[in-house]
């Protein structure tokens, strides 16, 4: 007898759409035995090669919810987003997740945090650094910034729809005229108030965007400044754009009201078309829900959070890069310009070398920091140690090797 396994409904949907059999417990006497698990797997594999599109669900059957996260910890919220993406069944239930974080910098999946911010400085100032799962550029979050994640099944992913919900909400609530530019940013009077990123998988997808309501622009500017050096990196680079807070456009804008405005706009609009159904439509939905992203309510979320907050993920996933910084060495009346070059792989300093003048050669530098994690403090530490070197010693070294 095969037993209905502990599968969530989105995994079940995936199985069903690929033509696999969902084994169910049937009565022992009389009614037909379900096919043996081995047969079911074979069928699933065969059908997967010619995957049928999932059945079209009419708009009237799709109900919407707005989830509001009770947590302001960026790792917890990223874990919640991930949990919903992996475990929830959105086929008849679209969800908008609204969340806000304590001050932090969030970089894209394939970005290099050291080219986006001064990581050591962030640590000093108590600003968390996080890496999200979707691509795109680096952003600064604080409680004056609202994050919106639009969840839906893959086949109903619609970025334009989502962004329009936001612009409509801004107009309906505060008569703010916002536009969507070609990079899918929302701009108000030529300045960016929102950035967008997405994750498309099977069977679920999500699109998230930020909305700058009343973020601390000073901290934002200070946080997204990197250490002065030459970075040779193939990671995704951020495209800096001038930003603006909504509160600069209309003094009454605040995050609480923004949450409500975007939420109601989401609920009153039809599921896949930008049609306003008013309160009659809202009445048919599932409404607002507070979400407490703890293990008790979402088993498995602690593991996800542990991953998001681990060094291996935040720093370790940095694509390999090289950082070069010039350094002047003083001697008897003559100065020498050297270049320190550090190769960083997986967030660890692999090769630390010194480029001598008039030479392409890289002289390896012996330091206990070899193989240790890279950050700006360590880099400046090496530079500081090297500055004590006398120029004549370097000359000797050059002549010696020449």
The contact set with another protein (CB under 8 A) reads 3-9, 12, 24-31, 63, 65-68, 70, 87-89, 92, 256, 259-260, 263, 267, 282-292, 294, 296-299
Nearer to another protein, 4 or 232 (CB): 4
Query: Residue 146 CB, nearest distance to another protein (Å)?
Result: 12
Nearer to another protein, 267 or 338 (CB): 267
Nearer to another protein, 42 or 260 (CB): 260
d(CA 390, CA 401): 17
Buried b (16+ CB within 10 A) or exposed e, 298-328: beebeebbeebbeeebbbebbeebbbebebe
Query: Residue 163 CB, nearest distance to another protein (Å)?
Result: 21
Mapped onto helix, strand or coil, the DSSP state of residue 350 is: strand
Place of tokens 């930003």: 243
Query: Residue 202 CB, nearest distance to another protein (Å)?
Result: 17
Nearer to another protein, 84 or 340 (CB): 84
The DSSP 8-state label assigned to residue 149 in this structure reads E
Query: Residue 295 CB, nearest distance to another protein (Å)?
Result: 9
DSSP for 235-274, written as a single string: SBPP----B--HHHH-TT--HHHHHHHHHHHHHHB-SSS-
Nearer to another protein, 77 or 285 (CB): 285
Nearer to another protein, 90 or 114 (CB): 90
d(CA 306, CA 225): 27
- Determine how many CB atoms are found less than 10 A away from the CB of residue 293: 25
Residue 338 has which token pair?
């050297």
Query: Residue 306 CB, nearest distance to another protein (Å)?
Result: 18
Helix H segments across 88-147? 113-116, 119-124
Query: Residue 54 CB, nearest distance to another protein (Å)?
Result: 17
Nearer to another protein, 81 or 376 (CB): 81
Instruction: Give the total residue count for the chain.
Output: 402
Query: Residue 328 CB, nearest distance to another protein (Å)?
Result: 56
Measured CA to CA in angstroms, residue 82 lies from 78, 199, 300, 307, 369 at distances of 6, 10, 11, 11, 35
């Amino acid at each position: 007898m095969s037993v209905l396994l502990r599968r969530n409904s989105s995994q079940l949907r995936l199985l069903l759409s690929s033509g696999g059999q969902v084994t169910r417990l049937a009565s022992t006497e009389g009614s037909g035995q379900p096919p043996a698990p081995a047969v079911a797997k074979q069928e699933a594999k065969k059908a997967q090669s010619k995957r049928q599109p999932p059945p079209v669900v009419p708009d009237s059957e799709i109900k919407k919810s707005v989830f509001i996260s009770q947590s302001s910890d960026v790792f917890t919220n990223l874990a919640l987003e991930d949990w919903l993406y992996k475990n929830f069944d959105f086929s008849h239930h679209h969800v908008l997740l609204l969340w806000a974080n304590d001050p932090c910098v969030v970089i894209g999946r394939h970005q290099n945090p050291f080219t986006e911010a001064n990581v050591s400085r962030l640590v000093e100032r108590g600003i968390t650094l996080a890496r999200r799962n979707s691509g795109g550029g680096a952003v600064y979050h604080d409680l004056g910034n609202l994050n919106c994640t639009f969840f839906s099944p893959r086949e109903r992913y619609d970025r334009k729809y989502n962004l329009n919900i936001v612009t409509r909400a801004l107009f309906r609530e505060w008569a703010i005229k916002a536009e969507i530019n070609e990079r899918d940013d929302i701009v108000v009077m030529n300045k960016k108030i929102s950035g967008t990123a997405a994750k498309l998988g099977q069977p679920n997808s999500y699109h998230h965007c930020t909305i700058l309501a009343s973020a601390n622009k000073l901290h934002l500017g200070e946080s997204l400044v990197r250490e002065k050096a030459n970075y040779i990196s193939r990671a995704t680079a951020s495209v800096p754009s001038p930003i603006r807070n909504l509160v600069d456009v209309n003094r009454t804008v605040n995050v609480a009201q923004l949450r409500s405005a975007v939420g109601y706009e989401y609920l009153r609009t039809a599921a896949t078309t930008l049609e306003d159904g008013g309160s009659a439509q809202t009445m048919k939905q599932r409404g607002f829900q507070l979400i407490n992203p703890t293990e008790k309510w979402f088993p498995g979320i602690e593991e996800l959070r542990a991953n998001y907050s681990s060094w291996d993920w935040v720093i370790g996933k940095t694509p390999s890069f090289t950082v070069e910084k010039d350094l002047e060495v003083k001697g008897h009346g003559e100065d020498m310009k050297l270049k320190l070059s550090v190769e960083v792989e997986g967030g660890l300093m692999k090769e630390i070398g010194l480029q001598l003048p008039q030479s392409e050669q890289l002289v390896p530098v012996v330091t206990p920091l070899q193989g240790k994690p890279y950050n700006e403090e360590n880099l400046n530490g090496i530079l500081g140690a090297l500055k004590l070197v006398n120029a004549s010693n370097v000359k000797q070294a050059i002549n010696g090797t020449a």
